[in-house]
Amino acid sequence: MVNGAFFIQVGIIIIFFLNPETLNSTSQYLYTDSLSQSVQEATIGFRLIGVGIANFGGGIIFGLYLLSLTAFMVHDKQRINFTFTLWWLLVALISFLIARSSLVAIFLSLLYILLKGRREFIKFISQLILVIFIFLLLVMSTTDVSALLDSDIIRWGFEFLFSYFEAGEATTASTEHLLTMYILPDNHLTYIFGDGRFFDPVKGEYYMNTDVGYLRLIFYVGIIGMITFIQFVWTITTGICLPKSFLSKIPYYFFIFLIISNLKGFVDATQFFGIFLAFVYMKRVGAIAWQK
């Protein structure tokens, strides 16, 4: 069911990418608040966008799905085949072109496969190289490569490479902007208890104009609240670990991904975890019923 939902989402993303007019005509219905809509509209043309999937948050959702897909694939070694590898690459590419921060999930996915077994990793990488080779051949034979490399979406996705070869420094505009958002509180009470604000109601933007996840939590509920939030996420993480299933280890990778991602923006993926909580609950209830 989850795979089907993401399959549909991938189809919508591709349609929006190939036909921007469809995206423009539906953008007003995809978001309920003006801030999200304005951010989404500003990224049309150089980021992939889906239904409720855009920017940093969309990258998080696809990154978590990529990790789930990896665990599901590796759990049954027979699934490490051409079809699964092709789907993995497509999801990884889309997540990257939604938000470059999803690179963390891609690296964690590869690490997960590597730690699961050297043989599985070599098999997967071999198939991945083959899929990438075929994909590049198709692109080169059907597309103007020079125009593609000069397109907004490619230049944005690989901005750090273009920056390195053109300016001698591997950096991105968003990274430089992110560094300006590391704004610390100016009093002890805010550090401890926060200011109780997540958004600035007057300016209609993030409070203190920072997008950094940990800083937003500190300004909102202080360090105490931030630690409580992290503990809450950790509790859910351990709660969805199910021995002898594809959920035996991958939740810890979820947690690492979320912890790192909060250095960039605020991430609350408890809704995503709810799917696995339901799965674990049904498995455990089924096991209890079987024992009775």
Under the banding of pLDDT at 50, 70 and 90, the label for residue 91 is: very high
Please write the tens of the pLDDT for every residue from 1-11. Answer: 557 778 888 88
- For residues 90 and 7, is the Cβ–Cβ distance under 8 A? no
Residue 200 φ then ψ, to 5°? -95, 110
- For residues 258 and 109, is the Cβ–Cβ distance under 8 A? no
Q: What is the Cα–Cα distance from 83 to 91, expressed in whole angstroms?
A: 12
Per the DSSP assignment, residues forming a β-bridge with 200 are: 205
Q: Which amino acid is at 288?
A: I
CA distances from 50 to 44, 60, 103, 147 (A): 11, 13, 19, 24
For residue 90, the model assigns a pLDDT of 92
- The predicted model scores a pTM of 0.84
Which tokens hold the place of 232?
């809450």
Please write the tens of the pLDDT for every residue from 33-44. Answer: 555 555 555 555
- Residue matched to tokens 């990258």: 59
Q: What is the Cα–Cα distance from 75 to 72, expressed in whole angstroms?
A: 5
For residue 290, the model assigns a pLDDT of 37
Q: CB count, 10 Å around CB of 252?
A: 15
Domain ranges of the chain: 1-134, 143-179, 187-292
Q: What is the Cα–Cα distance from 199 to 212, expressed in whole angstroms?
A: 13
- For residues 219 and 194, is the Cβ–Cβ distance under 8 A? yes
Give the mean model confidence (pLDDT) for residues 240-250.
Answer: 80
Q: What is the Cα–Cα distance from 292 to 75, expressed in whole angstroms?
A: 28
Please write the tens of the pLDDT for every residue from 140-155. Answer: 888 777 777 777 777 7
Which tokens hold the place of 166?
């053109």
Residues with Cβ < 8 Å from 156, sequence gap 6 or more? 46, 47
For residue 161, the model assigns a pLDDT of 81
Classified as helix, coil or strand, 115 is: helix
Specify the higher pLDDT residue, 175 or 291. 175
Specify the higher pLDDT residue, 143 or 23. 143
Give the mean model confidence (pLDDT) for residues 51-73.
Answer: 85
Q: Which of 101-115, 147-161, 232-246 has the highest mean pLDDT?
A: 101-115
Specify the higher pLDDT residue, 247 or 67. 67
Q: Which of 277, 276, 257 has its CA nearest to residue 56?
A: 257
Whether 292 shows a pLDDT value over 50: the answer reads: no
For residue 291, the model assigns a pLDDT of 39
In the chain, helix, strand, coil percent, each to 5?
75, 0, 25
Q: What is the Cα–Cα distance from 70 to 61, expressed in whole angstroms?
A: 14
First and final C-alpha spacing in the chain: 29
Under the banding of pLDDT at 50, 70 and 90, the label for residue 13 is: confident
Q: Which amino acid is at 249?
A: K
- CA trace torsion 271, 231, 95, 84 (10° rounding): -80
Q: What is the Cα–Cα distance from 80 to 96, expressed in whole angstroms?
A: 22
For residue 155, the number of C-alpha atoms closer than 13 Å in the C-beta half-sphere is 12
Under the banding of pLDDT at 50, 70 and 90, the label for residue 31 is: low
- Provide, rounded to the nearest whole percent, the portion of the chain with pLDDT above 70: 87
Under the banding of pLDDT at 50, 70 and 90, the label for residue 288 is: very low
- Residue matched to tokens 């209890």: 288
For residue 25, the model assigns a pLDDT of 67
Give the mean model confidence (pLDDT) for residues 165-177.
Answer: 80
